Structure 1
Amino acid sequence: MIRTAKAGRREIFGWSMFDFANQAYTLLIITVIFGDLYTRIVVGDSPDYRLGNLLWSLALCLSYAIVVVTAPLLGAMMDYARAKKRLLFTSYVITVLSTGMLYFVAPGYIWLGFLLIVVSNTAYSAGESFIASFLPFLGEPRELGKISGLGWALGYAGGLVSAGFVLLFLGAVTFENFERIRWVGPFAAVFFLLAAIPTFIWLREPAVGVRHELGTDVVAEGYRRLLVTVRSVARYPDLARLFLSILFAMAGVYVIVAFSFIYGAQVIGWSEGTRNLMFVVVQITALVGALAFGWLQGWLGGRLTYALTLILWILAILAIYFVAELTAWLDQSFGLSLEVEQVFLFAGLLSGLSLGSSQSVGRALVGMFSPEHRAAELFGFWGLFTKLAAIFGIFGVGLLQWAFGLQGAVLFCILLFAAALIPLAGIDEQRGVAAAHD
């Protein structure tokens, strides 16, 4: 029997704690520390680090490609075999082990770092889809925006705690400080390991499917269910349009996540103090954005709220690209003496609000449009489209920065977020919810 009763606060908290735990990986490994460490220290092809940036893009894209190929099938298997928690736990263990091994990636160990990023980011990204598949079972459709927002907000709180510790106690990403900063991998692994324990204690396995041991018969049945879903896509037109919008929007998001702190180091040339402050600004504003837009979604509806987050992203990208011109205008107009890296913090504020809100609202909309008996499978498609977006966005920017430099390549993101707005015009939110519950 499918469990449709509203989850209690403890179960919702347990679900949200996985977001709290895994954000340490996103920030410390992908965004703030290890991406910079890999491109500038491990590869170290100064002065413009184009080879390091390209290899970093390729490693991320390869991991996302693996998720694109496997996520929907794994989701279908989870629904059929009642295996959501089992596969979530597997992805969690692989992420923790491979992240801890990043300690052994020293300058010149280019391919070891490449391999470990592929493995750890594949497992982490699969886990994102797995944990999201629990969302439709946690509350009524109108409540999912707030629940998803709570998860993202706790995620950014976890990122603030974990990365704040690393920035304060492990220091800068430099050759001289390498023996300390190399501990970022083990620290992220232990943080994830411990902080996710409440998830596996309090989050219940949804009563969908019948428990089976994971074997070839489950794979075959998962494949059969997957074919049925693909053939019945016309039954979920609003979900299909939403996935198309997510494809473009998440392409832009992944570019910013993967390259924002690299951009600050290479293009802006910021100081360590500004880097640390930028981290705090982005985390706090992302937390606020996730909560505020989750509440706003319950008032305005998911479609309109999601569109507002995309417009906010376009403004953030314009602020990033024109930060030097904006700084000169502020200094001249108001008699100030601001530095570019200081004004860049304003772009970080807009990016943080956009980051927290767009991902939270998008995930909640998928939950609203997904039937319970195919929740993991459809969130597998959500994983497919988000990671396909990552490949498209990150590899595209990687090639563009190779040709034009990182600053010129960032304008590509404006086109991505603008394209994400177009499919939203055809979405009928009430129709999408009704289709999920038919």
Structure 2
Amino acid sequence: MSHSPHTPASPSGTGNSALGEINKKHVLAWASWDWGSAAFNAVMTTFVFTVYLTSDAFGGEDYASRILGYGLALSGLAIALLAPVTGQRSDTGGRRKYWLGVNSIAVAVLTALCFFVYPSPGFLFLGVGLIALATLFSEFAGVNYNAMLGQISTPATVGKISGFGWAMGYVGGIVALALVLVGFVLPENGWFGATAADGLNIRLVAVFSAVWFMAFALPVLFTVPEIPRQPMAAKLGIAGSYGLLFRRIKAIYRTSPHTIFFLLASAVFRDGLAAVFTFGGVIAAGTFGFPLTGVIVFAIAGNVVAALGAVAGGYLDDRVGPKRVIVGSLLGLLAAGTAIFLLGAENHSVLGLTWSGTTTFWVCGLLLCLFVGPAQASSRAYLARLAPRGEEGEYFGLYATTGRAVSFLAPTLFAVCIGIFGAQRFGILGILVVLLAGLLLLLPVKEPREVPTATTPAA
């Protein structure tokens, strides 16, 4: 499939998006999946369940944090090997929505199984294994979900709609976290008889998160049309899919090398962005002494700020371009993260006023949240502008793969820094190194409108 050498491909799909119009019903249904996925991203992997999993009950915060980091790194390796081919096969087979549904169900089931992770060192590997597997299927679902962005947007609105989707995710996280707080964490006897005995309240949060995710994943499965099946679909086996993948990567590099450069740069900085949220709650509890209720309250505030940042970043994206938004966001993240690392949990005197560790985390942590949203949304919009029609799933599969090919970086550096310096706080340093490396790799990459679109071989 070939395209004009200097014009990004038009969005694909059905409805009116290709004609310069958007179907608001499709956009809302699509964004609903982001709202639902917040139950896994915010509640399970960031602010509640992983905080529970890295508590003293599982062998101590330093040991459990290290095991969690390595577990997520292994999950990333599997994603790196499988994501682009699963995206490609869902594209050619006309089953993008089908596989979004299958992978979403897998995430929900694995999340619900976390109910059986009791607060004991013997259950640490079960908990890490379930979270790692759920992360694997969540990424597969994300490949299909992100590929739909081209179906429901236009070249002039892709940044805004991508930002809207991220914002819906953050707001969904706010609502889910608030319900978790008032229904399971704060009361001595919460919903469904939840108490702190044997971690029952947190284990019930896992069931709640699974139901929440699946309920809000349904609208996109019933609303956005499936993409058409391509004739080549029946001819390709698994080996043929990998062969086609390698030919396309070569074609992209030959005619559009800056697309490859962007995939590599974004892989690094997105790993740092993911680590900010994955380990944010863990650091708040372990380094800054936040109780679980304090972590959740911060998470709610952080998601409000992140949602506002994602919306603002989406509008800026359509006006000044995604690269400027990403660079500015990464600089903001580095400044805020460095302040958290240097100031730590100690008290400091500023103009005669006492600046506590709690204040440090609140102020600088909210700044981190403000900049994460625009970087995530603009990165997705950047690639959506480049993906040729009918190949979005494969491109976002490459997006997931390049991200996961280096996804060991932030978790491993987080774990290694803790091991070297003997304190969880130094895990922050590992995350900052990854963010800085991503920024340096991104600086020479051209804007999407300056990048030619690759001519990819059909066979």
TM normalised by structure 2 equals 0.87
Return the match for 1:227 from 246, 249, 269.
246
Structure 1: tracts of 5 or more residues without a match: none
Which structure 2 residues correspond to residues 303-382 of structure 1 after superposition, within 5 A? 303-324=323-344, 328-330=348-350, 333=351, 335-382=352-399
**Following the alignment from structure 1 to structure 2, what is the Cα–Cα distance between the partners of residues 169 and 35?**
19
Which structure 2 residues correspond to residues 13-24 of structure 1 after superposition, within 5 A? 13-24=28-39
Q: Which moved more, 1:176-185 or 1:53-62?
A: 176-185
**1:148 positional shift:** 0.4
Return the match for 1:151 from 145, 158, 165.
165
**Following the alignment from structure 1 to structure 2, what is the Cα–Cα distance between the partners of residues 276 and 430?**
38
User: Are the aligned partners of 1:286 and 1:353 in contact in 2 as well (CA < 8 Å)?
Assistant: yes
Find the counterpart in structure 2 of residue 81 from structure 1: 93
**Following the alignment from structure 2 to structure 1, what is the Cα–Cα distance between the partners of residues 425 and 344?**
11
Return the match for 2:145 from 131, 139, 146.
131
Structure 2: tracts of 5 or more residues without a match: 2-11, 187-193
The one-letter amino acid of 2:287's match is: V
The one-letter amino acid of 1:31's match is: T
User: Are the aligned partners of 1:85 and 1:200 in contact in 2 as well (CA < 8 Å)?
Assistant: yes
User: Are the aligned partners of 2:347 and 2:355 in contact in 1 as well (CA < 8 Å)?
Assistant: yes
2:171 pairs with 1:168: no
**1:275 positional shift:** 2.1
**1:211 positional shift:** 9.3
Find the counterpart in structure 1 of residue 8 from structure 2: none
Cα shift readout 1:193-216 (whole Å, capped 9, x = no counterpart): 111111111112234625967xx9
Find the counterpart in structure 2 of residue 408 from structure 1: 426
Q: Which moved more, 1:235-244 or 1:186-195?
A: 235-244
The one-letter amino acid of 1:61's match is: A
Return the match for 2:438 from 398, 420, 428.
420
Which has the larger helix fraction?
1
User: Are the aligned partners of 1:79 and 1:375 in contact in 2 as well (CA < 8 Å)?
Assistant: yes
**1:221 positional shift:** 4.0
The one-letter amino acid of 1:340's match is: G
Find the counterpart in structure 2 of residue 253 from structure 1: 273
Which structure 2 residues correspond to residues 59-70 of structure 1 after superposition, within 5 A? 59-70=71-82
Shift in alpha-carbon separation, 1:270–1:363, aligned structure 2, 3 A: same
User: Are the aligned partners of 1:281 and 1:352 in contact in 2 as well (CA < 8 Å)?
Assistant: no
**Following the alignment from structure 2 to structure 1, what is the Cα–Cα distance between the partners of residues 146 and 263?**
15
**1:245 positional shift:** 1.5
**Following the alignment from structure 2 to structure 1, what is the Cα–Cα distance between the partners of residues 330 and 427?**
19
Find the counterpart in structure 2 of residue 189 from structure 1: 210
Cα shift readout 1:361-398 (whole Å, capped 9, x = no counterpart): 10100111111222110100110122233222112211
Shift in alpha-carbon separation, 1:254–1:230, aligned structure 2, 3 A: same
User: Are the aligned partners of 1:81 and 1:218 in contact in 2 as well (CA < 8 Å)?
Assistant: no
Find the counterpart in structure 2 of residue 269 from structure 1: 289
Identity %: 22
The one-letter amino acid of 2:133's match is: V
Shift in alpha-carbon separation, 1:175–1:119, aligned structure 2, 3 A: same
2:69 pairs with 1:51: no
TM normalised by structure 1 equals 0.91
Shift in alpha-carbon separation, 1:301–1:327, aligned structure 2, 3 A: farther
**Following the alignment from structure 1 to structure 2, what is the Cα–Cα distance between the partners of residues 432 and 127?**
30
**1:41 positional shift:** 5.1
User: Are the aligned partners of 1:57 and 1:398 in contact in 2 as well (CA < 8 Å)?
Assistant: yes
Return the match for 2:221 from 200, 206, 214.
200
**Following the alignment from structure 1 to structure 2, what is the Cα–Cα distance between the partners of residues 9 and 191?**
23
User: Are the aligned partners of 1:171 and 1:177 in contact in 2 as well (CA < 8 Å)?
Assistant: no
3-state SS of the aligned residue for 1:329?
Answer: strand
Shift in alpha-carbon separation, 1:342–1:423, aligned structure 2, 3 A: closer
The one-letter amino acid of 1:401's match is: I
User: Are the aligned partners of 1:16 and 1:150 in contact in 2 as well (CA < 8 Å)?
Assistant: yes
User: Are the aligned partners of 1:72 and 1:377 in contact in 2 as well (CA < 8 Å)?
Assistant: yes
Return the match for 1:98 from 106, 110, 119.
110
User: Number of residues paired by the alignment?
Assistant: 430
3-state SS of the aligned residue for 1:411?
Answer: helix
